[in-house]
Chain A
Amino acid sequence: MHHEGTAKMATPPETSIAGRYTVLPAQPMPEAGGGLPCFAAKDSRSGDTGLIAIQVRRDAPARAQPLQLLTQPIDGLLTPLAHGPAPGPRGEAGYFVICPAPPGPPLTGRLRPWPEAALISLALRPIALVLEKLASHNVTHRAIRLNNVFEGRRGQPLVLGAAWAAPPALHQPALFDPPYSAMCHPAGRGDGRIADDVYALGVLLLALALGRVPLTGLDEAAILRRKLELGSHAALVGDERLPAMVSDLLRGMLAEDPEHRPTPTLLLDPAVARSRRVAARPPRRAQRALPVGEIAVWDARTLAYALGTDADQGIGALRSGTAVQWLRRSLGDVQLATRVDELVHHRLADTPSEELRADLMMLMGAVAAIDPLAPLCWHGVALWPDGLGPLLLAASGDPALAGKLQDMIATEAAANWGSLRPERCDVPLLRMEARQNRAYLATPGLAGGQARLTYLLNPVLPCASPLVADRLVMRLSDVPAAIEAAVAANPKAVPMDAQLAAFIAARSDSRTEAEANALTSNAQNPVNLPELRLLAELQVRYHPKPLPALAASIAGSAAPMIAAWMNRPRRRELTGQLKTLAAAGQLLPMLALLEDPPGRSADAAGARLAAAEVTQIDAELAAIAASADERRATATRLAQEIAAGAGLLALAVMLVVAVLG
C-alpha cells in the first residue's frame, strides 16, 4: 500500500478517505490507537480489512511532517497510509489517520519478564531499525510506550504503534519521556529528536526485562522529580538486577544528555553499543534543601525545574539572592552561582520599561544556565520551541496560558533562549522563527494574531470557525463549499469571521494571503469589498460551482459596499444589478460590479464636482441673505434717481413746449 496524502473533501462531506479507505465506526478498536479513539477500516479498492483508523481530536491536530514524509511503509511500524475527514462514530465530521492494523494487542497488561535474547532480537533490534528509518526521514516517533507497542504471536518482533494522530509526545507518560521533555506542557513537547525515542525504547526494554512497569505507584510529578534528582538511569533501574547486556545498554540509552545516548544504528549492534562508555556522574546533592514554592530543591536540575515552573517564586528566589547563595554555599557550585549572579545583577542594574518581562527573561536565562538540557521556561510554562504550535492550540481555551505565550512570542524569547545555549540548538533558525512568529502575532486586522499563528504552526488543523463547526474544513478548497452550506442553513450567518480569516491567511499562497490581510469586516459591516474579493478569489480558484446562498447573503448585506458609491441613483441601480447577479451564484461578477474602478473614479469625480457646486450655491445663498440692507439702499438710491429724472424730464418737456409754443 502506498501513501495517498490528504483526501479531498467535497460537498457533501466524503465518507471515504483518499477515495478508497472507509472508516467503520461501528467497529471500535480501543487498544489499537495507543490511547486515541480507534476504529476498524477497510480498503474499498483492494478489499483489505486489516486497517485501522485513528481519530484525531480537534484540539490536538495530527503531525503534518510525518504524514507528509512517511510515504513508504516501514516494517515494524504502523506507517500512515492516508489521512482525511470522514464521519465519526456519532455521525459527526471526524478526521482520521489510516494505518495498518497492529499484529496483536499492546504490551499493556501483558508484561512478563523477557529473556535477554528475546529482548535483543524481538524488541531492541526491530525497534532500533524502525527508529533508524525514521531518523533517515528526519522524523521522530515520540510515542513509544507500553500501550503503543504491539506484540503479535510469541517470537515475533514487536511493532511500534502510530504516532501521527496527535502532537508529538502528547500522551507520553513521564516514565517514558526524558525529564527535559516530561516537564513541558504536554502539548508543547515538540518533535524532539531520535535520541528521545532511544530513551523511551530504553524504558521499554527495562519494563520488558523486569516484567513490570518501573516506579509504579508514583505519580507523574514524583517520577519527574525522581529522575531529576537521581538521574534517569538511577531513578529507573535503581538496584534492579538486570542481564549484563541490558544493563550496559540502558546506562547509555537512559543517559540524561541526548548526545550521550547511542544512535539507533549503533543499537542494531548491541555488542558495540554496550561497550560505549557514558560519562554519567550522579547529580551533586546540596547539604540543605532550598524551598522554591512547593518544591524542596536538593540539586541544580531540580532548582532549574522549580524556577522554570513557578515563575513568581523563581523570580523571588533570584532577586532576593537566596538561589545564588544556595548554589554557592549549600550546593558548592561556585562557577554556576557566579553565572546566575551575573544574570541577576545585570537585570537589577537595568531599569526596563516592562519590569515583568525583564524578570521573566532573567528567569529564563537562569534556568538555561543552571540546566542546559532544560526546555524554554517562560512564566511558568515549559516548552520546546517546535512544540509552540500545538501549545498555542491548547491555549486557545486558556486565556492565562495564551497571554503568557503571546508575551513570550512578542519578546522573541525563543531567540534569546537559543543564544543562551548555542551549542544545543540552531540559533539562526530559532531567531528567524521567533521573528516570524512575532510578526504574525502582531499582524493587524481580522486575519492576524494568535489564531493566524496557531493555524500556521499547525498545518493539519481544521478551521475552528463556529460557522463551519459541523464540517471539517482542512484546506482552502474546502472553504467555499463549507461557507455556502453554512449560509444556506442559516441565511443570517455572517460569512466571514476571525477564525475563517486566520485560517485562510495561514493556508493561502502569497496572493490570497495579501487579500486575507486586507480584511476589514466587523460586527457592523460583516462583508466589505476585501471580504468579497477574498471569497470571489477562493471561488474562482477552488470552487467554480455557483454559490447562490452565499451570493444572496452578500447581496443582502452589501449596503456598506454600495454606500461607497456617492451617486444615489447609481446606488439604486447597483442594488438591483447585484440581486440579479446573486441569483447566478458567481461572486466575481458581483465583485466586478461593486469595484468597477472607472465607474468609481467617475463617481468620485462627479461627487467632487457636485460638492463644489453645492459650496458655490451655499455661498451665493449666504450672500443673498446677508445683502438685504444693501438691496434696500440700492432700491432707494435707484428710485430717487428715477424720480429726479422724471422731474427733469417734465421740466425739459415744459421748456420745449414754451420755446415752440
Chain B
Amino acid sequence: MPAVARPPRRHSLAWLQGLGCGAVVALVPAMALLLGVLLLPGLLAVLYDRQPGRPVARTVLMCGTAASIAPVLALWGAGTTIDACVGLLGDLRVTGTAWSAAAVGWILAELAPVVALVVLEAITAARTARLREARDKLAAEWGFEEEP
C-alpha cells in the first residue's frame, strides 16, 4: 500500500494570543479595560466576520486601534490606574472617537468592493464596446456574419 503524504500540521496561535491577553489583564488591568472598551467594535467584528482573513474585522480593528493610540498614551501617562481608565472611558470624545473610527473602517470595508466592482465593470464595458465596433467594421468590410 503506497504511503500517503500527510499535509503539514498547522499550529494555532490562539493560545498564544490568549496568553498575551491574559498577561495584559493580569499585569495592567486598567490598560486591558481601556483597550477592551475602545476596541469593542473591532472585537465584535472579529467574532462576526467569517470571511477568510477576516478583512472587515481587520479594517475595523486597524481604524479603531489608530483612534486608541492617544487614550492609551494618556492612560500610560496617568500611571495606568483604574481611576484614570474610568476617567478616560467616561469621556465621550475618547470612546466616541474610537468607535467612530471603527465605524469608518467598517463602512470603508463594506463600500470599497462595490466601488471597485463598478469601476472594473465600466472599464470592461468600454473594452467590449471597442471590440464590437472593430468586429462590426470587419464584418461590414468582408461580409462576415453578424455577432451571434
Q: What residues make up the interface of A, taking CB atoms closer than 8 Å to B?
A: 566-569, 606-607, 610-611, 613-614, 617-618, 620-621, 624, 631-632, 634-636, 638-644, 646-648, 650-651, 653-655, 657-658
The answer to whether A610 touches B69 (Cβ under 8 A) is no
B window 4-42: CB within 8 A of A:
none
The answer to whether A635 touches B117 (Cβ under 8 A) is yes
- Report B-chain residues with C-beta under 8 Å of the C-beta of A639: 112-117
Does B127 touch A at the CB level, under 8 Å?
Answer: yes
The answer to whether A610 touches B67 (Cβ under 8 A) is no
Does B93 touch A at the CB level, under 8 Å?
Answer: no
Query: With A568-B141, A635-B116, A650-B101 as given contacts, are A643 and B55 in contact (CB-CB < 8 Å)?
Result: yes
B window 103-148: CB within 8 A of A:
105, 108-109, 112-117, 119-121, 124, 127-128, 131-132, 134-135, 138-144, 147
Q: Which of B73, B109, B113, B127 has the most CB of A within 10 A?
A: B113
- Report B-chain residues with C-beta under 8 Å of the C-beta of A568: 140-143
- Report B-chain residues with C-beta under 8 Å of the C-beta of A641: 55
Closest residue of chain A to B124, judged by CB?
A: A624
The answer to whether B141 touches A644 (Cβ under 8 A) is no
- Report B-chain residues with C-beta under 8 Å of the C-beta of A614: 135, 138-139, 144
Give Cα A638 to B123, complex, Å: 15
Give Cα A610 to B141, complex, Å: 9
Query: With A621-B147, A638-B116, A643-B112 as given contacts, are A606 and B62 in contact (CB-CB < 8 Å)?
Result: no
Chain A min CB distance to B67 (Å): 7
Query: With A621-B131, A647-B105 as given contacts, are A658 and B70 in contact (CB-CB < 8 Å)?
Result: yes
Given contacts A640-B59, A654-B70, 13 further A-B contacts (CB under 8 A): A566-B142, A606-B142, A610-B144, A611-B144, A617-B135, A621-B128, A621-B147, A635-B119, A636-B117, A639-B116, A640-B112, A642-B116, A650-B62
Give Cα A642 to B105, complex, Å: 11
The answer to whether A640 touches B113 (Cβ under 8 A) is yes
Give Cα A429 to B135, complex, Å: 65
The answer to whether A631 touches B105 (Cβ under 8 A) is no
Chain B min CB distance to A324 (Å): 71
Does B78 touch A at the CB level, under 8 Å?
Answer: no
- Report A-chain residues with C-beta under 8 Å of the C-beta of B144: 610-611, 614
Does B66 touch A at the CB level, under 8 Å?
Answer: yes
Closest residue of chain A to B140, judged by CB?
A: A568
Does B95 touch A at the CB level, under 8 Å?
Answer: no
Query: With A566-B142, A642-B116 as given contacts, are A618 and B135 in contact (CB-CB < 8 Å)?
Result: yes
Does B85 touch A at the CB level, under 8 Å?
Answer: no
- Report A-chain residues with C-beta under 8 Å of the C-beta of B56: 640
Give Cα A70 to B74, complex, Å: 139
- Report B-chain residues with C-beta under 8 Å of the C-beta of A658: 69-70, 73
- Report A-chain residues with C-beta under 8 Å of the C-beta of B128: 621, 624
Closest residue of chain B to A653, judged by CB?
A: B66
Closest residue of chain B to A631, judged by CB?
A: B120
Q: What residues make up the interface of B, taking CB atoms closer than 8 Å to A?
A: 55-56, 58-63, 65-67, 69-70, 73, 101, 105, 108-109, 112-117, 119-121, 124, 127-128, 131-132, 134-135, 138-144, 147
Query: With A566-B142, A568-B143, A635-B117 as given contacts, are A617 and B63 in contact (CB-CB < 8 Å)?
Result: no
- Report B-chain residues with C-beta under 8 Å of the C-beta of A642: 112, 116
Among B63, B135, B147, the residue within 8 A (CB) of A650 is: B63
Chain B min CB distance to A636 (Å): 4
Give Cα A635 to B67, complex, Å: 28
- Report A-chain residues with C-beta under 8 Å of the C-beta of B140: 568
- Report B-chain residues with C-beta under 8 Å of the C-beta of A611: 142, 144
Chain B min CB distance to A533 (Å): 25
- Report A-chain residues with C-beta under 8 Å of the C-beta of B114: 639
A sample of 16 inter-chain contacts (CB < 8 A) reads A567-B141, A567-B142, A614-B135, A614-B144, A617-B131, A620-B131, A635-B113, A635-B116, A639-B113, A640-B59, A640-B113, A642-B112, A642-B116, A643-B109, A646-B59, A647-B62
Chain A min CB distance to B133 (Å): 10
The answer to whether B55 touches A640 (Cβ under 8 A) is yes
The answer to whether A631 touches B121 (Cβ under 8 A) is yes
Query: With A631-B124, A636-B113, A639-B112 as given contacts, are A644 and B138 in contact (CB-CB < 8 Å)?
Result: no
Chain A min CB distance to B125 (Å): 9
Give Cα A566 to B138, complex, Å: 11
- Report A-chain residues with C-beta under 8 Å of the C-beta of B115: 639
Chain B min CB distance to A568 (Å): 6
Query: With A611-B144, A614-B139 as given contacts, are A651 and B113 in contact (CB-CB < 8 Å)?
Result: no
Chain B min CB distance to A307 (Å): 64
Give Cα A634 to B119, complex, Å: 12
Give Cα A636 to B70, complex, Å: 32
Closest residue of chain A to B42, judged by CB?
A: A647
Give Cα A650 to B61, complex, Å: 11
The answer to whether A566 touches B143 (Cβ under 8 A) is yes
Closest residue of chain A to B131, judged by CB?
A: A617
Give Cα A640 to B60, complex, Å: 11
Q: Which of A624, A641, A647 has the most CB of B within 10 A?
A: A647
- Report A-chain residues with C-beta under 8 Å of the C-beta of B55: 640-641, 643-644
Query: With A607-B142, A613-B138, A636-B117 as given contacts, are A651 and B124 in contact (CB-CB < 8 Å)?
Result: no
Q: Which of B105, B108, B134, B140 has the most CB of A within 10 A?
A: B108
- Report A-chain residues with C-beta under 8 Å of the C-beta of B147: 618, 621
Q: Which of A617, A632, A639 has the most CB of B within 10 A?
A: A639
Q: Which of A632, A650, A657 has the most CB of B within 10 A?
A: A650
- Report A-chain residues with C-beta under 8 Å of the C-beta of B127: 624
Give Cα A643 to B107, complex, Å: 9
The answer to whether B142 touches A644 (Cβ under 8 A) is no
The answer to whether B62 touches A651 (Cβ under 8 A) is yes
Q: Which of A618, A648, A651 has the most CB of B within 10 A?
A: A651
Query: With A614-B138, A636-B113, A654-B66 as given contacts, are A647 and B58 in contact (CB-CB < 8 Å)?
Result: yes
Query: With A614-B139, A621-B147, A631-B124 as given contacts, are A647 and B134 in contact (CB-CB < 8 Å)?
Result: no
